[in-house]
């Protein structure tokens, strides 16, 4: 039972809470963003409205509302809220929280929301300690993580819980969060005017993180003299406004400079444009996608590991988000910029596609056609096919490309980097497959 002193202390503390805490939604309808989770008929809304027992994993980047949703679930369903941080808590603390929840359930019938932040930091033993409470529904368990739970959470715990994926907030969502906080009595209550340009700058700085946007807004409000301008925001957060419009010319100019700098092998220039995009709040997933495209379009077989590095960086950004994810992006950018370059891959697929669009396709050779379905053999499909693994070097001379395209040559490798080796090998294989006289064969 709470004492009068507890209530007084809580009331006194409420006035000192950060703006992001004061502005936490009190119901599902106040939550901004995550419409795919909170719309009518969604599993989460049904569970909350029915006050049903539940166990949830909330997976998403920082500032997307994981803690907020946990508080809302507890508030709407009138359950006790107990938060445990996986950074500092151990098995002892987890078991103590579960035991207290069991006592509360037995004495008053009131259920408890056990919220574990950064749950991916729990080791297997700590996660095992949660299983009995989840299995027996002694608590409503909600685990928040920025990392892929399929890699960081034990299967028994994950299989007993509903996994919800949160998405980064859109610019409009963050703008709505800021405007509500500026006007709401729980927030700034209209005490300062928020200039439209300052809103746009705060949105860029937030990078889809609602908590960060409110932290910056609160800092700016403390030093503002009646109005929060871009200059006030810059002083408050010690970060210069980056002239970058994600929907305008600057967006296209900067990404163009970024790609062309990597293509030109200027790592410093590429890193400059990368930093410019990140500091302006560009979606890191957009940057990662452009790097992956570049790895095949401009490097290709000259350094086949470039695509692996680009994909790994994209996955890392999805798992850890910003600001740490900028390190993964920077590593990929440096790798791509310094790699030998070849556009042979994009040229090859482009020319092949052009032939197809013109109707230059020909017939698939009979011995290559599918012979597995009923009646295929009667049509001669697959007859005469030679299995390359049965021949020396895994090569056997037979027609693969349609006869009408026999003389076409799409892949023309460069002599740059690792592609020189592929060029030599492809030249030998092509001469052998096309039956050029004097070329050594691989049959036996």
pLDDT for residue 375: 58
- Which range marks the domain in which residue 212 is found? 171-245
Assigned domain for 280 exists: yes
The domain boundary, picked from 245, 262, 282, lies at: 245
Assigned domain for 123 exists: yes
pLDDT at 438 exceeding the cut of 50: no
Pair (119, 211) in one structural domain: no
Assigned domain for 108 exists: yes
pTM: 0.54
pLDDT at 169 exceeding the cut of 80: yes
Residue 65 is part of a domain; what is its CATH number?
Answer: 3.40.50.300
Instruction: Read off the pLDDT of each residue in 290-305 and give the average, rounded to a whole number.
Output: 94
Residue 260 is part of a domain; what is its CATH number?
Answer: 1.20.272.10
Pair (195, 157) in one structural domain: no
The domain boundary, picked from 203, 219, 245, lies at: 245
Query: Percent of the chain scored above 70 by pLDDT?
Result: 88
Where residue 440 falls among pLDDT bands split at 50, 70, 90? very low
Q: How far apart are CA 164 and CA 60, in angstroms?
A: 9
Assigned domain for 311 exists: yes
Instruction: Read off the pLDDT of each residue in 259-268 and give the average, rounded to a whole number.
Output: 91
Assigned domain for 7 exists: no
Place of tokens 């409503």: 140
Query: For the chain, how many structural domains are there in total?
Result: 3
Pair (38, 156) in one structural domain: yes
Where residue 368 falls among pLDDT bands split at 50, 70, 90? low
């Amino acid at each position: 039972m709470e004492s009068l002193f507890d209530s007084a202390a809580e009331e006194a503390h409420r006035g000192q809470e950060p703006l992001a805490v004061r502005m936490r939604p009190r119901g599902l309808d106040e939550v901004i963003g995550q419409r795919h989770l909170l719309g009518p008929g969604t599993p989460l809304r049904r569970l909350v409205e029915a006050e049903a027992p539940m166990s949830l994993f909330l997976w998403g980047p920082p500032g997307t509302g994981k803690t907020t949703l946990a508080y809302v679930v507890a508030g709407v369903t009138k359950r006790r809220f107990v938060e445990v941080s996986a950074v500092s808590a151990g098995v002892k603390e987890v078991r103590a929280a579960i035991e207290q929840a069991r006592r509360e359930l037995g004495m008053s019938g009131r259920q408890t929301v056990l919220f574990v932040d950064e749950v991916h930091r729990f080791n297997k033993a700590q996660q095992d300690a949660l299983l009995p409470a989840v299995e027996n529904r002694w608590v409503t368990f909600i685990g928040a993580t920025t990392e892929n739970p399929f890699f960081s959470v034990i299967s028994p715990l994950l299989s007993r819980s509903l996994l919800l994926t949160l998405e980064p907030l859109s610019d409009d969502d963050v703008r709505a969060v800021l405007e509500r906080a500026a006007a709401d009595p729980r927030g700034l209550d209209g005490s300062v005017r928020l200039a439209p340009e300052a809103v746009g700058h705060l949105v860029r700085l937030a990078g889809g993180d609602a908590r960060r946007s409110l932290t910056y807004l609160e800092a700016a409000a403390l030093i503002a003299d009646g109005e929060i301008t871009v200059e006030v925001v810059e002083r408050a957060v010690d970060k210069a406004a980056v002239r970058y419009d994600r929907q305008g010319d600057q967006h296209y100019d900067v990404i163009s400079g970024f790609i062309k700098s990597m293509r030109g092998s200027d790592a410093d220039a590429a890193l400059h444009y990368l930093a410019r995009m990140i500091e302006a709040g560009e979606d890191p997933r957009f940057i990662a996608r452009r790097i992956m495209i570049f790895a095949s379009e401009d490097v290709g077989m000259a350094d086949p590991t470039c695509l692996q590095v680009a994909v790994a960086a994209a996955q890392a950004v999805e798992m850890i988000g910003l600001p740490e994810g900028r390190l993964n992006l920077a590593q990929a950018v440096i790798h791509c910029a310094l790699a030998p370059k070849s556009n042979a891959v994009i040229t090859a697929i482009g020319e092949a596609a052009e032939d197809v669009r013109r109707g230059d396709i020909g017939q698939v050779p009979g011995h290559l056609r599918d012979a597995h379905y009923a009646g295929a053999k009667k049509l001669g499909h697959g007859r005469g096919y030679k299995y390359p693994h049965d021949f020396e070097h895994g090569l056997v001379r037979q027609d693969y490309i349609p006869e009408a395209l026999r003389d076409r040559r799409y892949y023309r490798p460069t002599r740059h980097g690792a592609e020189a080796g592929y060029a030599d090998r492809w030249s030998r294989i092509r001469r052998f497959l096309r039956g050029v006289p004097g070329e050594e064969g691989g049959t036996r």
